[in-house]
Copies of this chain bind each other. A is one copy, B any other.
Amino acid sequence: MTQIGEEIHALATRLFPITRSITGDGVRETLRILGEHLPGLTVHEVPSGTRVNDWVVPPEWNVREAYVLDPAGDRIIDFKRHNLHLVGYSIPIHKKVSLAELQEHLYSLPGQPDAIPYITSYYKERWGFCVTHAQRQTITQEGEYTVVIDSDLRDGSLTYAELLIPGERDEEIFFSTYVCHPSMGDNELSGPTVTTFLTKWLLAAPRKFSYRIIFIPETIGSITYLSRNLDEMKRRVVAGYNVTCVGDDRAWSYLPSRRENTPADRAALHVLAHLHPDFICYSYLDRGSDERQYCAPGVDLPVASVMRSKYGTYPEYHTSLDDLNLITPSGLQGTYEALQKCVECLEADERLRVTVLCEPQLGKRGLYPTLSTKETAAQVRDMMNLIAYCDGTRSLLEIAEKIAAPMWTLIPIAERLKAEGLLEVV
């Protein structure tokens, strides 16, 4: 049953051809499509040149066309065929160059001859084209090549979107994902598409916590967002996840927050330990995405990552091989469901206290199953263990860890015991 996974994959397929970067119309178009799914998604524009903490919002970049003609006039490289062919943030150029000069501006991967690499140069002005190494080895003819990059790199704005979902409490759970990668699948259409469907699910029922979901360009986007929202977030955010690399089906990964033991970490570890116990537990030293900003000293938001194959660890990473085949409906849906479980654990994590002294007599309340099976025996054991630790000092998640039971099996038991008046919230 991967119906949701199919829908997520379909959304990724629709978004795939769009040329995204850290600014520009590709981001706007992407957010517009996500907005079709997420009523209330609000788009913000931050002008180029705005100071954001230690950084400055860069010029906006847009490309109309970009190609290379060989000496015979054949269009041997064309941005229209694959947007990875153009180095991100390439300056506009229209020029004839020799083979030697052209080679200085070509990027390829000798070790992966069929992959177009993903290269950007946001903060140093340059131009370049990326090609497969196989193609590059055919570009040997001396003569005059024509290089055309019809791009704008000028004052404009950085674009991001946010959705605030009010809950019963002001405390927030935060999700961040990024929309700055051109046509690639796991890193990074998996992030915004899974986050979109997770948000739809969050919107579908009342929630205890409020939710803050943002779609931003990586690094400069999170820095920009924090420069405008940090004070409020520090007051409100109790847990958060950076959603990236969540679409392939080959591995499960956890990367902690810098403080390592926040509610976000504990929920993620609990979910992974029970659902995918062979997950890879990375260290914060292995970080590489927006947790670098969210967990920076002085920011210190409780943001962890639940991923499939982590960025930088799989061979297709940052190449054209990270395509729509790499991400799968089951891969996308798996992470969607794991993040749901994290939300459920966080929402239900409260300190409970048993209301009677000594063990309660469960029999007189019909809490012992009349039919004794292996399953009911496990339920009774979980119920007795839950009661044994509900002393008001441990939260439900801590009890789940203590008694080695998945928290989602305890939640309905706790509800039942609360209904019977045997448990109360501290």
A interface, CB within 8 angstroms of B = 53-55, 123-124, 219, 222-223, 226-227, 230, 258, 284-285, 287, 292-293, 295-300, 353-354, 356-361, 363-364, 385, 387-392, 403-404
The reply to whether A356 and B53 contact each other, CB–CB distance below 8 Å, is yes
**CB <8 Å contact, B297 and A389:** yes
Cβ-defined contact, B392 with A297, below 8 A: yes
Copies of the protein in its oligomer: 3
Residue of B nearest to A292 (CB): B359
Shortest beta-carbon distance from A426 to chain B in Å? 11
| Cβ–Cβ < 8 Å partners of A300 in chain B | 391
B296, A388: Cβ atoms closer than 8 Å: yes
With A55-B361, A359-B292, A359-B293 as contacts: A388 and B354 at CB distance below 8 Å: no
For the complex formed, measure the closest distance between the CB of A122 and the CB atoms of chain B, giving whole angstroms. Answer: 10
Q: Which residue of B lies closest to A385 (CB)?
A: B285
Return A284 CB to nearest CB of chain B, in Å.
7
Q: CB distance B230 to A297 under 8 Å?
A: no
Residue of B nearest to A222 (CB): B358
Check A358 against B391 for contact (C-beta < 8 Å): no
Partner of A296 from the list B123, B285, B359, B404 (CB cut-off 8 Å) is: B359
Residue of B nearest to A56 (CB): B361
Q: Which residues of B contact A123 (CB under 8 A)?
A: 361, 363-364
Interface pair A403/B296, CB less than 8 Å apart: no
Name the CB-closest residue of B to A291: B388
Q: Which B residues lie within 8 Å of A403 (CB)?
A: 285
Task: List chain B residues, Cβ under 8 A from A387.
Answer: 297
Contact A354 B297 (CB under 8 A): yes
28 contacts between A and B (CB under 8 A): A54-B360, A55-B358, A55-B361, A123-B361, A123-B364, A124-B363, A223-B359, A226-B358, A227-B357, A227-B358, A230-B357, A258-B389, A285-B385, A285-B403, A285-B404, A292-B359, A292-B388, A293-B359, A295-B388, A296-B357, A296-B359, A296-B388, A297-B387, A297-B390, A297-B392, A298-B353, A298-B391, A299-B357
Residues on the B chain within 8 Å of A124, using CB:
363
> Is the beta-carbon distance between B388 and A284 smaller than 8 angstroms?
yes
Chain B residue with Cβ nearest A124: B363
Closest 3 CB pairs of A and B: A297-B391, A54-B356, A293-B358
Q: Which residue of B lies closest to A293 (CB)?
A: B358
A54 to B300, CA, bound (A): 46
Known: A389-B297, A391-B297. A361 touches B292 (CB 8 A): no
Which residues of B are found within 8 Å of A354, using beta-carbon distances? 296-298
A361-B54 in contact (CB<8A): yes
Contact A358 B223 (CB under 8 A): yes
**How many Å from the CB of A296 to the closest CB on chain B?**
5
Looking at the complex, which one of B53, B353, B385, B388 makes contact with A357 (CB distance below 8 Å)? B53
User: Which residues of B lie under 8 Å from residue A287 when comparing CB positions?
Assistant: 388
Complex CA gap A226/B358 in Å reads 8
Report the Cα distance A148→B274, complex, angstroms: 53
CB distance from A251 to the nearest CB of B (A): 23
Chain B residues with CB below 8 A from A404, complex form: 285
**B residues in contact with A364, CB < 8 Å:** 123
Known A358-B223, A403-B285: A297·B53 in contact at CB below 8 Å? no
Name A353's contact: one of B227, B292, B297 (CB within 8 Å).
B297
Most buried by B among A258, A298, A358, A390: A358
Q: Give A422's nearest chain B residue, CB to CB.
A: B54
Within the complex, what minimum Cβ distance (angstroms) separates A341 from chain B?
23
Given the complex, which residues of B lie within 8 Å of A363, measured CB to CB? 123-124
Complex CA distance for A402 and B297, rounded to whole angstroms: 15
Inter-chain CA distance A275–B128, complex, in Å, is: 45
**Nearest CB in chain B to that of A284: its residue:** B388
Query: Complex: how many Å from CA A124 to CA B364?
Result: 10
